[in-house]
Amino acid sequence: MGKFIVIVLDGFGIGAMKDAATARPGDEKANTLRSILRDQPDLKLPTLEKLGLMNAYGAESQHMKFSPDANFGKSELMHHGADTFMGHQEIMGTRPKMPEIVPFQEKVDAVAQQLRDHGHKVVIRERSGLRYVVCDDYVTIADNLEADLGMCYNVTAPLDFIPFEKAHEIAELARQVVTVGRVIVFGGTGNTMEDLYAAEEIKQGKFIGIASAKSKSYEQGYQCLHLGYGVNKNVQAPTILTNAGIPVTLIGKVADIVANDGGKSISCVPTVECMELTIQAFRDMDRGFICTNVQETDLAGHSQDSAVYREKLEQADAGLAKLLPLLTEEDILLVQADHGNDPDIGHSKHTRENVPLLVYRKGLHGVHLGVRSTMSDVGATVCDFLGVKAPENGTSFLPLLELK
Tell me the pLDDT tens digit for each residue of 310-335: 999 999 999 999 999 999 999 999 99
Rounded Cα distance between 392 and 93, Å, is 6
Q: What is the pTM of this model?
A: 0.88
CA-based angle 5:258:108, to the nearest 5? 160
Co-location of 110 and 61 in the same domain: no
Question: What pLDDT is recorded for position 404?
Answer: 79
3-state class percentages of the chain: helix first, strand second, coil last, to nearest 5: 35, 25, 45
Co-location of 71 and 134 in the same domain: no
Q: 228, 243, 261 — which closes off a domain?
A: 228
Rounded Cα distance between 212 and 215, Å, is 5
Co-location of 290 and 372 in the same domain: yes
Domain that holds residue 352: 3-97+231-401
Co-location of 184 and 172 in the same domain: yes
Question: What pLDDT is recorded for position 195?
Answer: 98
SS3 128: coil
Q: 173, 197, 228 — which closes off a domain?
A: 228
Co-location of 282 and 194 in the same domain: no
Co-location of 262 and 384 in the same domain: yes
Rounded Cα distance between 221 and 164, Å, is 10
Categorise residue 366: left if φ over 0, alpha if ψ from -120 to 50, beta otherwise: left
**129 φ, ψ (degrees, to nearest 5):** 80, 0
List own/partner pairs for 247-250 with CB under 8 A and 24 or more apart.
247/285, 247/287, 247/288, 247/289, 248/288, 248/289, 248/290, 248/291, 249/281, 249/285, 249/288, 249/289, 249/290, 249/291, 250/290, 250/291, 250/292
Co-location of 186 and 313 in the same domain: no
Co-location of 89 and 142 in the same domain: no
Residue of 179, 296, 167, 180 whose CA lies nearest to 224: 167
Domain count, the chain: 2
Co-location of 212 and 298 in the same domain: no
Residue of 219, 221, 229 whose CA lies nearest to 182: 229
CATH of residue 309's domain is 3.40.720.10
Co-location of 344 and 250 in the same domain: yes
Co-location of 287 and 211 in the same domain: no
Q: 228, 249, 265 — which closes off a domain?
A: 228
Low-confidence ranges of the chain (pLDDT < 70): none
CA-based angle 386:388:389, to the nearest 5? 140
Co-location of 266 and 361 in the same domain: yes
